[in-house]
Structure 1
Amino acid sequence: MKREKGLLIVLSGPSGVGKGTVCSALREQDTHIRYSVSATTRHPRAGEVDGVNYFFKSKEEFERLIQDGEMIEYAQYVGNYYGTPRAYVEEMIEKGHDVILEIEVQGAIQVKETFPEGVFIFLMPPSLKELRNRLAGRGTESVDLIDSRMTVAREEIELMDKYDYVVENDEVHLAVDRIKSIVTAENCKKDRLIHQYQSLVKE
């Protein structure tokens, strides 16, 4: 039976925890999940492609999208805007597709206010030491910026209780398996299916 609506899956966690890597691996294994590309004002990193990894916007362009109500959520993080364009997400969910948002913690809290029926997953590093090692391993950020990200990470971990699930990213393939299990279970929840199956009884 085709579902009336898809799931909104929100994956977030501290910078450097591996959200992008986990999402990429998940997309390779599960082609049914649609990936919502976020917008940002930060500069592209090596290998990133506009419209694939992010929609890269100027500050003026981003603020215009906010004013026009075209963002589901947005946040400023270490001096840059990040946010989720609204139209694609709503269209896919209405068509019955599951959509995953890979976003910052501030943004996830905003989305929960608008889409409380979403599935909120917090991606955790094995330890803060490992998180710092991953940030340093990028080779793209100064020590001061890494220190800033670690300060924010501690604050974000304290918001974990606002999420439905916590997944440790110790190994990417294991984190992906855990997320797939969560999505399968959520798609079988009675509250998401009861109206469809009640209609069978009435026929």
Structure 2
Amino acid sequence: MVALYSMINDSVHIKRRGLMLVLSSPSGAGKTSISRRLLELNPDLRLSISMTTRPQRPGETEGKDYFFVSDEEFKRHCDGGSFLEYARVFDHFYGTPRQPVEETLSQGNDILFDIDWQGTQSLSQSARGDLVTIFILPPSWQELERRLQSRAQDTKNIVQKRMAKARNEMSHWAEYDYVLINDDLDTTVHHVHSILTAERLKRSRQVDLDAFVKLLKP
């Protein structure tokens, strides 16, 4: 008989299906910093590694930050149905490989997505039951611009494009399960962690709970 639960430090742990946690925001609102902190706090949380056609930046690692591919290879993956979602952003394509996500969920682990509203909509169509979505807003328009300029990663022209795109991105906030204003990083990370904890405990995700309750009956 397959074990329905495990004992860890004298506590019962019911087997569950993993979830897909999406963080979206305009560039500069802080989702990357939040993601890093969240991964440090949650050893059972995996980061979804996207495939992209954009050039590799200094300091980025193949297979850790992205899988960097040519336009031709990306198209082959699209044609073969290898992506859960994909989108074009600033003249480059980004996609989420299907196989590693499905394997992670079936093992009872959670996976974190750093994607935009277009990718979130695509995931909602293919995997809504596994999805938890959070949109991160900046505390002000001026602060968003300041953060983008202070990063010194992009040219002035790219910063202007990101600011223009931010207006459209923020118009989709109401499509998300949760919306947080990132005024203080520690507070926002705490709120995201609380959401993750609550969603993990949902009855629908504890796949062996019904069988476990039946075992409790005399």
Q: Could you say which residue in structure 1 is the equivalent of 2:9? A: none
Whole-angstrom distance in 1 between the partners of 2:143 and 2:198: 30
Q: Could you say which residue in structure 2 is the equivalent of 1:107? A: 119
Q: Report matched runs for 1:1-150 at 5 Å.
A: 1-117=13-129, 118-150=131-163
The residue identity in structure 2 corresponding to 1:145 is I
Aligned length: 202
Whole-angstrom distance in 1 between the partners of 2:39 and 2:214: 38
**Structure 1 residue 72 displacement after superposition:** 0.7
Deviations 1:62-88 (A, max 9, x none): 111111111111110111111111111
Secondary structure, aligned partner of 1:147: helix
Q: Could you say which residue in structure 2 is the equivalent of 1:175? A: 188
Q: Give the greater-gyration-radius structure (CA).
A: 2
Conserved 8 A contact 2:51-2:69: yes
**Structure 1 residue 44 displacement after superposition:** 2.3
Q: 2:172 aligns with which of 154, 159, 162?
A: 159
Whole-angstrom distance in 2 between the partners of 1:15 and 1:59: 24
Stretches of structure 1 that go unaligned for 5 or more consecutive residues are none
**Structure 1 residue 52 displacement after superposition:** 0.9
Whole-angstrom distance in 1 between the partners of 2:111 and 2:55: 25
Alignment RMSD, CA only?
Answer: 1.6
Conserved 8 A contact 2:14-2:209: no
Conserved 8 A contact 2:31-2:114: yes
Most deviating of 55-64 and 67-76:
55-64
Give the TM-score of the pair, scaled to structure 1.
0.92
Secondary structure, aligned partner of 1:75: strand
Query: Using a 3 Å threshold, how does the CA distance of structure 1 residues 169 and 44 change in structure 2: closer, same or farther?
Result: farther
**Is 2:197 the counterpart of 1:184?**
yes
Query: Using a 3 Å threshold, how does the CA distance of structure 1 residues 202 and 123 change in structure 2: closer, same or farther?
Result: same
Stretches of structure 2 that go unaligned for 5 or more consecutive residues are 1-12
The 4+ residue runs of structure 1 with deviation greater than 6 A are none
